[in-house]
Amino acid sequence: GFEDVNTLVDVGGGTGTIISLVTSKYPHIKGINFDLPSVLAHDPLYSGVEHVSGDMFTEVPKGDAIFMKWILHDWNDEDCVKILKNCWKSL
């Protein structure tokens, strides 16, 4: 569960819909929806969710836990290693 998580980062979170579902069930969690600026340009506002723009190949925002859905399958092994290393550094 998410009981011990205070900050959850959704890497490649798109519009933030998934992380908003988590924060609505666990309101103590600060959700960070992390994606490219062009993706976040028209994202709706959700209670408990902050939209943060950036590049997962460079850096991932700090958090207690990382969430990724439909991300790694799009990249080759070398790129996946970069993404996962940046996620590890952010924890």
Sequence ranges of the domains in the chain:
7-90
Residue 12's region, left for phi above 0, alpha for psi from -120 to 50, else beta, is left
Of the residues 28, 42, 51, 73, only one is catalytic, namely: 73
3-class secondary-structure state, position 14: coil
Question: Cβ neighbours of residue 44 under 8 Å, at least 6 residues apart?
Answer: 15, 16
Q: Which fold has domain 7-90?
A: Rossmann fold (3.40.50)
3-class secondary-structure state, position 25: helix
28 is catalytic: no
Whether residue 18 is predicted with pLDDT greater than 90 in this model: the reply is: yes
**pLDDT tens, 47-91?**
999 999 999 999 999 999 999 999 999 999 999 999 999 999 999
What global pTM score does this model have?
0.94
Chain-centre distance for alpha carbon 2: 15
